[in-house]
């Protein structure tokens, strides 16, 4: 099966997910990975789609045209190379969570992700939100990261905490435990 990344962005309205996924299932596609969210009133979706033999980038984009028109979505479809998929399967790393909160100010995401990158860490998932009172918002940053295994991961976690601390925000970094379903 060929794999494709699909992104769509538009003003949030009920029915977007149903329209996009309906077009994909009609082609025989399968969603392998997905993330969807609402950002300040705009819906954003990013999918990894497995398509059956003979269904390519143009066919997927064409099938989504009706949903894109109906919901005024900006849609992009790109093939995923097997090299990119293999590179994401690094077994020499451990899964960690980074949780940061504090007074909102520019540079928090940059400082924390720079510390991760400098230690060989990779951002797997990242979300930010403003919470609290309008006149005193609290910035919340949550990252799932892949860090080097063992003691190198512990050192990377310390550098991330130190980076956040230098900005006056609170930071907790911990190894993820296996999910129990």
Residue-wise pLDDT for 12-28, tens only, equals 999 999 999 999 999 99
Q: Are 58 and 28 in contact (CB under 8 A)?
A: no
Instruction: With 0.95 as the threshold, say if the pTM is over it.
Output: no
Burial class (CB in 10 A: 0-12, 13-18, 19+), 37: exposed
Where do we find the tokens 């911990």? 174
Neighbours of 115 (CB within 10 A): 23
Tell which residue, 103, 114, 128, 124, has the closest CA to residue 156: 114
Asked if pLDDT for residue 53 goes beyond 50, the answer is yes
User: How much is the pLDDT for 85?
Assistant: 55
CA 111 vs. chain centroid, Å, equals 18
Residue-wise pLDDT for 41-52, tens only, equals 999 999 999 999
Structural domains of the chain ordered from first start: 2-85 (3.30.70.260), 93-175 (3.30.70.260)
CA 38 vs. chain centroid, Å, equals 13
Q: Which two tokens stand for residue 62?
A: 């064409």
Residue-wise pLDDT for 88-107, tens only, equals 555 688 999 999 999 999 99
Q: Which two tokens stand for residue 117?
A: 């990158």
Give me the mean pLDDT over the 53-61 stretch: 96
Q: Tell me the pLDDT band of 1, cut-offs 50, 70 and 90.
A: confident
Asked if pLDDT for residue 110 goes beyond 50, the answer is yes
| Per-chain mean pLDDT for the chain | 92
User: How much is the pLDDT for 133?
Assistant: 87
Q: Tell me the pLDDT band of 181, cut-offs 50, 70 and 90.
A: very low
């Amino acid at each position: 099966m060929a794999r494709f990344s699909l992104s769509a962005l538009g003003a949030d309205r009920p029915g977007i997910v149903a329209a996009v996924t309906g077009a994909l299932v009609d082609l025989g596609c399968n969603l392998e990975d997905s993330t969807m969210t609402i950002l300040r009133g705009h819906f954003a979706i990013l999918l990894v789609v497995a398509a059956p033999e003979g269904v390519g980038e143009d066919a997927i984009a064409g099938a989504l045209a009706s949903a894109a028109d109906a919901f005024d979505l900006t849609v992009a479809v790109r093939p995923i190379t097997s090299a990119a998929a293999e590179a994401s399967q690094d077994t020499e790393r451990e899964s960690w969570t980074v949780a940061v909160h504090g007074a909102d100010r520019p540079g928090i995401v940059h400082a924390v992700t720079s510390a991760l990158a400098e230690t060989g860490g990779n951002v797997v998932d990242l979300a930010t939100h403003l919470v609290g009172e309008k006149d005193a918002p609290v910035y919340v940053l949550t990252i799932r990261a892949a860090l080097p295994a063992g003691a190198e991961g512990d050192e990377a976690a310390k550098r991330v905490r130190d980076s956040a601390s230098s900005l006056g925000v609170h930071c907790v970094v911990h190894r993820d435990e296996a999910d129990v379903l």
